[in-house]
Amino acid sequence: MNNDNISIRHHRKASVKPHRAFTVNFFGNKIRTIVTTNFAVVKKWVYKIRYFYRARRDQLVIGLGVQWPVNDPSQSYTLQLCVGRHCLVLHLFYTRYVPRIFHRFLADGRNTFVGIWNYNDEIKLRKSQQKLLVSRLVDVRCVAAARMDMSLQASMETLAEAILGREGVNKHIEIATSDWGRGFLSKEQVLYACLDAFASSEIGKKLEAWDWTD
């Protein structure tokens, strides 16, 4: 996904334990991306999102993605969330506990979590060691099929081009199937995780997924 319009920059000075900070560029959109395993960092991120978007509590669309090991699709190694220009990549494989406010955020029925080809994500998260429950998870393919007469087999690349007008947003299989259980995710993995969640959230907003009922 690296090209002139899509790139990632690591902020080494801001990347002190327990998190790493990046800026992802997506066609001029600068997405602040945090990779962490830390309880306090996750808690702060949720508080920030709830404050920044308090006026849109009933129409909040959050991009959600999950990465898992190729040899065990039932496991969750990362959970990536994106709201506006704020992305959190939670490395679940190394995270023992998450704050209660994070559980409440995922379970809040007013929030609409969106992704692509995500029909197993809810099960994966529920079976994770953190036992994460997502109350409202929408596959934007279904919304696009109903509201734009698009194919249910549409890929991220197809949806991003048709709905966002952005070309080249493809999910490379070699990154998707890489080792997400490694101690430090590579820049390519962080970019992949961020864009998975960000593109999903932007597509979901364009489709007004907050009022979708299947």
Quote the pLDDT of residue 109: 94
Quote the pLDDT of residue 2: 52
Q: Is residue 23 part of a domain?
A: yes
CATH code, domain with 116: 3.30.420.10
Q: Is residue 135 part of a domain?
A: yes
* Average pLDDT estimate for 6-29: 87
Average pLDDT value for the chain: 93
Q: Is residue 214 part of a domain?
A: no
pTM of the model: 0.94
For the beta sheet containing 61-67, the strands, ordered from the edge strand earlier in sequence to the opposite edge, are 6-11, 19-26, 29-36, 86-90, 78-83, 61-67, 112-115, 137-139
Q: Is residue 187 part of a domain?
A: yes
Quote the pLDDT of residue 170: 84
Q: Look at the chain and report how many structural domains it folds into.
A: 1
Q: Is residue 36 part of a domain?
A: yes
Q: What is the pLDDT of residues 141-169, one digit of tens each?
A: 999 999 999 999 999 999 999 999 999 88
For residue 1, pLDDT over 80 is answered with: no
Q: What is the pLDDT of residues 177-193, one digit of tens each?
A: 999 999 899 999 999 99
Nearest to 87 by CA among 208, 203, 209, 191: 191
Quote the pLDDT of residue 75: 84
Q: Which two tokens stand for residue 59?
A: 């129409």
* Average pLDDT estimate for 66-76: 87
Q: Is residue 79 part of a domain?
A: yes
Quote the pLDDT of residue 73: 77
Q: Is residue 118 part of a domain?
A: yes
Domain that holds residue 177: 6-209
In the chain, helix, strand, coil percent, each to 5?
A: 35, 20, 40
Quote the pLDDT of residue 71: 85
Q: What is the pLDDT of residues 87-115, one digit of tens each?
A: 999 999 999 899 999 999 999 999 999 99
Quote the pLDDT of residue 119: 86
Q: Which two tokens stand for residue 149?
A: 């007469």
For residue 194, pLDDT over 70 is answered with: yes
Alpha helices in 55-160 (DSSP H): 100-107, 121-127, 140-148, 156-159
| CB neighbour list of residue 48: distance below 8 Å, 6 or more residues apart | 86
Rounded Cα distance between 43 and 110, Å, is 19
Q: Is residue 1 part of a domain?
A: no
